[in-house]
Amino acid sequence: MLEQLLRLIAEDGVSTCEDLARRVSVSQPLLEAMLEELARLGYLRAVASGCAGHCTGCSMGGCSVIGQGRVWILTDIGVRSVPQGAAGAGHTA
Amino acid sequence: MSTVVAPSLPGEAGLTVALAGQPNVGKSTLFNLLTGLEQHVGNWPGKTVEQKTGTYRSDGLVLHLVDLPGIYSLTVNSPEEVIARDYLLRVRPDVVVAVVNAASLERNLYLVAELIPLVARLVVAMNMMDVAADQGITVEPRVLAAALGVPVVPMSAARNQGVHELVETVARLARGEIPCRPSLPEIRQDHRQVLAQLRSLIAGSVPEPYPEEWAALKLLEGDAEITAKVSEHLPADVWQQVHRILMAHEDAVLSVAGGRYEWIGRMIRAAVTRPRAGQITLTERLDRWATHPVGGVALLAGILGLVFWLTFTVGRPLQALLDRAVVHTLGNWVSAWLSAAPTWVRGLVVDGIIGGAGMVLTFLPILAIFFAVLALLEDVGYMARAAYVMDRFMHLMGLHGKSFLPLFLGFGCNVPAVMGTRIIESRRARLLTILLAPLVPCAARMTVVVFFAPLFFGRAAPLVAWGLVGGSMVVLAVAGVFLGRWVLRGERAAFIMELPLYHQPNARTIGLQVWHNSAQFLKKAGTLILVMSVVIWALSTLPQGQIETSYLAAIGRALAPVGALMGLDWKMIVALLSSLVAKETSLVTLGVLFGAAGNPGGLGAALSTSLTPASALAFLVVQMLFIPCVATVAAMRQETGSWKWTAFGVGLLAALSFAGGVVAYQAARLF
């Protein structure tokens, strides 16, 4: 199931938790738990939203335009774990 | 490395019961309820982690309870997990109670999935049933028990509900009165064969207290402790075989963990019903539009247009009023007051400070509208959707996905956009994003657009502003595709966004953000812009006291042939050059050069008589694409670590802006 999730993430480029939960047929809380697991295993990394810490010297003040909510990115290990161009053609969990 | 960490228990006969669970699931509350004053608090041997043991006595039943540290799994990632796993393996308690939060079973069942294959007698204490009910979550304990194959006791420890039933279940389970047929998580077929192969290889060589089946699974998961123990006990040639298998199946960890999540998914589908009303439904309904690949981009473009319309209809008249009523009136008043002072003092204060820094201050209403709209959109939860749809749009154009996040920050200011590229691991992708970031129109550039557009384009001003932003995005995309061919060949990137629920905006939050950002702008106007006003005034006055013969005029005239291709005279070229300090500075320069403080109609009136719409359009196009301010250039140097790439970026932007200005001017003259 995590392999399927990784493939979908790599295939979509950019996804929302809601989309992914629907496509893997799990609830959104379970999807979030799976993302956290993938992060623990080193396949994903949570990045801070907004520009926290970089506002010093910013001429226009705050710029946290992304709002709340985390953003997860595929790490190098995550990218390597999904064969290039093989999205959707991988194993069955 | 783990150690034996069995807690000392009283010599009295009874059942040993371990309480396991994640932090904050009410495990300690349950432990305190069961043991009362009969508890002992110390440390686990050799650790600084607190150890709590205690005794429960009732109707001849004696339970020796051990409160294990809060853990998320049995993978030895933390001292707490080492202690809990070692205790369960070495002491083998009679019964293990897995305390879970009924309102968050998706996260809590992972530990249960790990405990089930390891523990002989397991009871799931489903705590916080009251919290789940408050959140509208329905959990069926009987269904869950049937699916898990182990007893499940619903309870609310904080309300002392279900505790007696838990004790009774523990006693009955220990007496063998409750049948247990645990449902075990499964792994992928091919990995199942690998697991069997590993098990046969390590058979008879796994040290105590590790069960062989479990040890084989942990080997497959890459568990460092088990790998070390097994490699110590296996003959070298057998270990080589095991090692080869493990190397060939490094991805098995995903299969094992994935099997657990599939198992959790089955349990949740069987026993849990979550609410789908109110806020969630509203969010889903709105997101059908807001995150639609085409509709979402159209909505974003519409919102952007609305922001411009609002700025022009509300902000621009206020700015003009301030310009006339404050800058001009103040300029006249101060000029009269300083009539006896030397000419240069009057020039410095009236033309330099009031005409420059004072004029920039009149833009506060426009910026306040920008800040308020940005804060409102962020507070209701829309901004994350805007980022999401724009990223999809940029993907279509072949741009790097991860790049969008920092690029989006550029709408506030280009400096954090450049700094924000740190989230991109690939150096080549970072470099591309850094080079593109200054093409995102920052709020300061938008201030210049908002000032110019209504002066020259009347009712079409919102459309022109909208087109300038859209045009910048197109240039960014084209430049991205072009550079990507050379810089980013064949790279893939992906990310997932958690979109927050939409909710009602909070006036205080928005007010605070507007206040904070406005205060930052005022601070800047009182420092950097004030200094720049004085410098520009000095350069426009020295050496003979006349603008036409000033140093600034000399610089501008040297570049006049370049400006002529774009329909810009030397004053406009100097204004563009001064924007290298900060983008708003171009307005300061124009304020000084056109004598805004002395003109009854303010800078707007002076400009509209000196420039044609074609020249104004060219000026705006150049302003949008021009070399960024020094702060951004410094950030580019810092983040690329290379003067060469910084110079390339600056050169690229200078060329793009010049080409854009010439094309815009020549095309506009045709109409």
pLDDT of B574 higher than 50? yes
Strands B39-43 and B15-21: unpaired
Least Cα separation, residue B665 to chain A (angstroms) = 30
Q: Find chain A residues with C-beta within 8 A of B107's C-beta.
A: 29, 33
Listed residue (B187, B22, B221) closest to B107, CA to CA: B22
pLDDT digits (tens, 9 = 90+) for B518-530: 887 788 777 777 8
State the SS3 of B339-400: CCCCHHHHHHHHHHHHHHHHHHHCCHHHHHHHHHHHHHHHHHCHHHHHHHHHHHHHHHCCCC
Say which range, B243-257, B282-296, B359-373, B570-584, has the weakest mean pLDDT. Answer: B359-373
Asked if residue A89 is part of any domain, the answer here is no
**Is B423 close to A47, i.e. CB distance below 8 A?**
yes
pLDDT confidence bin for B12, thresholds 50/70/90:
low
**Stretch (H or E) spanning B289:** helix B279-290
Q: What is the mean pLDDT of residues B94-119?
A: 93
β-bridge partners, B54: B39, B65
Identify the structural domains of chain B with CATH numbers, from first to last: 15-174 (3.40.50.300), 189-273 (1.10.287.1770), 296-669 (no CATH)
pLDDT of A64 higher than 70? no
**Is B411 close to A63, i.e. CB distance below 8 A?**
yes
Q: How many CB atoms lie within 10 A of CB B112?
A: 25
Q: Measure CB to CB from residue B631 to each of A59, A62, A66 and give the nearest one.
A: A59
Four-CA torsion B112, B118, B124, B126, nearest 10 degrees: -20
What domain range is A39 assigned to? 2-81
Tally of domains in chain A: 1
Of the two residues B39 and B257, the one the predictor is more confident about is: B257
Q: Find chain A residues with C-beta within 8 A of B391's C-beta.
A: 13-14
Q: Residue B82 is encoded by which pair of tokens?
A: 């080492």
Nearest CA in chain B to A87: B492
Q: What is the mean pLDDT of residues B474-479?
A: 87
What three-state secondary structure class fits B560? helix
Question: Within 13 Å of residue B101, how many CA atoms lie on the same side as its CB?
Answer: 16
Q: At what angle do helices B551-558 and B528-541 cross, to 10 degrees?
A: 90
The verdict on A52 touching B (C-beta cutoff 8 Å) is: no
The C-alpha atoms of residue B254 and residue A43 are separated, in whole angstroms, by 10
Name the residue type at position B190: D
The verdict on A80 touching B (C-beta cutoff 8 Å) is: no
**Is B524 close to A59, i.e. CB distance below 8 A?**
yes
Listed residue (B336, B343, B340) closest to B544, CA to CA: B343
Substitution target from B137, B402, B498, B506 for chain A, most A beta carbons within 10 A: B498
pLDDT digits (tens, 9 = 90+) for B231-285: 888 888 899 999 999 998 888 888 899 999 999 999 999 999 887 655 566 777 8
| Sheet-wide strand order for A14-16 | A14-16, B495-497, A71-74, A44-47
Of the two residues B71 and B415, the one the predictor is more confident about is: B71
Per-residue model confidence (pLDDT) at position B497: 76
The C-alpha atoms of residue B202 and residue B245 are separated, in whole angstroms, by 12
Q: Where are the alpha helices (DSSP H) in B424-581?
A: 427-436, 443-457, 461-487, 507-526, 528-541, 551-558, 560-564, 570-578
The verdict on A21 touching B (C-beta cutoff 8 Å) is: no
**Is B497 close to A64, i.e. CB distance below 8 A?**
no
Nearest CA in chain A to B400: A13
For CA atoms B331, B337, B339, B341, the dihedral sign is negative
Nearest CA in chain B to A68: B500
Decide: A30 and B106 in contact? Cβ < 8 Å: yes
Listed residue (B557, B554, B551) closest to B535, CA to CA: B551
- Provide the total of helices (H) and of strands (E) in chain B, helices listed first: 34, 10
Q: Which residue has the tokens 């700025």?
A: B311
Reported ipTM = 0.77
Asked if residue A39 is part of any domain, the answer here is yes
Q: Find chain A residues with C-beta within 8 A of B526's C-beta.
A: none
Give yes or no for a cis peptide into B117 (omega within 30° of 0): no
The mean pLDDT value of chain B amounts to 84
Q: How many CB atoms lie within 10 A of CB B396?
A: 12
Q: Percent of chain B at pLDDT above 90?
A: 29
Say which range, A33-37, B73-77, B491-495, has the weakest mean pLDDT. Answer: B491-495
**Is A84 close to B268, i.e. CB distance below 8 A?**
no
Listed residue (A62, A57, A60) closest to B366, CA to CA: A60
Asked if residue A88 is part of any domain, the answer here is no
Q: How many CB atoms lie within 10 A of CB B433?
A: 28
Per-residue model confidence (pLDDT) at position B597: 60
CA B351 to chain centre: 44
The C-alpha atoms of residue B416 and residue B395 are separated, in whole angstroms, by 22
Asked if residue A86 is part of any domain, the answer here is no
Asked if residue A87 is part of any domain, the answer here is no
Asked if residue A9 is part of any domain, the answer here is yes
Q: Measure CB to CB from residue A61 to each of B264, B388, B517 and give the nearest one.
A: B517
pLDDT digits (tens, 9 = 90+) for B40-82: 877 777 766 778 899 999 888 999 999 999 898 888 777 888 8
Per-residue model confidence (pLDDT) at position B424: 64
**Stretch (H or E) spanning B160:** none
Per-residue model confidence (pLDDT) at position B639: 83
Q: Residue B28 is encoded by which pair of tokens?
A: 């300690």
pLDDT of A51 higher than 50? no
Least Cα separation, residue A89 to chain B (angstroms) = 16
Nearest CA in chain B to A91: B188
pLDDT of B459 higher than 80? yes
The verdict on A63 touching B (C-beta cutoff 8 Å) is: yes
**Is A73 close to B402, i.e. CB distance below 8 A?**
yes
The C-alpha atoms of residue B605 and residue B609 are separated, in whole angstroms, by 7
Specify the CATH number for the domain of residue A50.
Answer: 1.10.10.10
pLDDT digits (tens, 9 = 90+) for B537-552: 888 877 877 777 888 8
**Is B492 close to A84, i.e. CB distance below 8 A?**
yes
The C-alpha atoms of residue A62 and residue B516 are separated, in whole angstroms, by 8
Name the residue type at position B99: V
Per-residue model confidence (pLDDT) at position B405: 62
Listed residue (B605, B657, B630) closest to B528, CA to CA: B630
pLDDT confidence bin for B164, thresholds 50/70/90:
very high
**Most trustworthy range by pLDDT among B25-39, B91-105, B414-428, B432-446:** B91-105
**Is B496 close to A35, i.e. CB distance below 8 A?**
yes
Least Cα separation, residue B590 to chain A (angstroms) = 20
**Is A59 close to B520, i.e. CB distance below 8 A?**
yes
Asked if residue A90 is part of any domain, the answer here is no
pLDDT of B327 higher than 80? no
Q: Residue B238 is encoded by which pair of tokens?
A: 């057998």
Q: Residue B365 is encoded by which pair of tokens?
A: 């209403």
Q: Percent of chain B at pLDDT above 70?
A: 91
Q: What is the mean pLDDT of residues B81-106?
A: 92
Q: Measure CB to CB from residue B494 to each of A13, A60, A62 and give the nearest one.
A: A13
Say which range, B109-113, B170-174, B208-212, B383-387, has the weakest mean pLDDT. Answer: B383-387
Asked if residue A93 is part of any domain, the answer here is no
